[in-house]
Amino acid sequence: MKRNRLGKSELYVSEIGLGCMSLGTEKKHALSLLHEAMDRGINFLDTADLYDEGRNEELVGEALRGRRSDVVLATKVGNRWEPGKEGWSWDPSKAYIKAAVKDSLRRLQTDYIDLYQLHGGTLDDPIDETIEAFEELKQEGVIRYYGISSIRPNVIREYVQRSNIVSVMSQYSILDRRPEETVLPLLRDKGISLIARGPVAKGILTSDGHRKAEKGYLDYSQDELSPLLGSLNVLGEGSRDIAHTAIRYALSDAAVAAVIPGASSIPQLVHNIEAAHAEELSDRDIDAIRRISRSNQYEQHR
């Protein structure tokens, strides 16, 4: 599978990675998915301490026994869970980040994280303190690089200007083209990569999409999605199915290093991986997709 450089880092990630959130908590099933992904060329795994209260990191760590050097391992920090308290609290403080990384390392059964990402963020955060925490972890060799996972352009701009992030993870798909407005041009200009999550829009951009589109998506109603899905099927007819068209669209921007669709079954995983071998979109294809879809824009956090 093709590998792309992540920003200006020394990390080269498979263009299709695995978003691990959908693995589930059953050990045998999760390990089979992770091993299948790695066996088929995926070297980029993305998890978070938030997922299943750390259980997801534990499963990823177990799957990586004996294979750690083959993988670019990404996880996230910032959402704090405390036993006895309901829900999660947001904590981007230096003290918390430097404590939380130790727990992630233990669960992941490794002594370093390739890409450590802030799992959110607002302009009210102590941004300089947060950056200082990541920089110190780099100096200590605990993490190799860091990034941010965010859909807020105003926050992304702050980290682009004030830190050494190599990547931004953000939702991006044919149905969510908001990053095209400001985020992707900014990242291209600064040599920072986008990691695109949600490329098939919760399964709407798949062969089963009509059923999953019943509740709409972002500013699309079900009535708008049905003809759009029909047009996308016609566009890829003979060369790509709709999911592969969607994944190739997210990868078509030069700033996008990888997409990370989730997978809850082996057939779903294999189908996602097959997009790596699907015909790339032509300029004409991209223009057609942009004509039939909406150029969404961020209404908040601009």
Helix (H, G, I), strand (E, B) or coil at 256: strand
DSSP secondary structure letter of residue 148: E
Residue 302 predicted with pLDDT over 90: no
Residue 298 predicted with pLDDT over 90: no
Query: Distance (Å, rounded) from C-alpha 289 to C-alpha 286?
Result: 5
Give the model's pLDDT for residue 53.
82
CA distances for 300 relative to 7, 122, 155, 175, 250, angstroms: 26, 12, 11, 18, 22
Give tens-digit pLDDT for 263-279.
999 999 999 999 999 98
**Least confident interval from 30-34, 79-83, 117-121, 171-175:** 79-83
Give the model's pLDDT for residue 193.
98
The domains located in the chain, with CATH, are: 3-292 (3.20.20.100)
**Cβ contact 156:148 at 8 Å:** yes
- Verify whether residue 51 is a known catalytic residue: yes
Query: Distance (Å, rounded) from C-alpha 61 to C-alpha 67?
Result: 10
Helix (H, G, I), strand (E, B) or coil at 180: helix
For residues 106-121, average pLDDT: 96
Q: Order of strands across the sheet with 167-171?
A: 18-19, 44-46, 72-77, 113-119, 143-149, 167-171, 193-197, 256-259
**Cβ contact 192:165 at 8 Å:** yes
- pLDDT class of 54 with cuts at 50, 70, 90: confident
Q: H or E segment at 130?
A: helix 127-139
Residue 186 predicted with pLDDT over 90: yes
Full-model pTM: 0.95
Choosing from 51, 145, 159, 249, which is the catalytic residue? 51
Amino acid making up residue 226: S
Give tens-digit pLDDT for 126-183.
999 999 999 999 999 999 999 999 999 999 999 999 999 999 999 999 999 999 999 9
Q: Which is more confidently placed, 207 or 201?
A: 201
Amino acid making up residue 293: S
To 10 degrees, the CA torsion angle through 243, 245, 249, 254?
Answer: 110
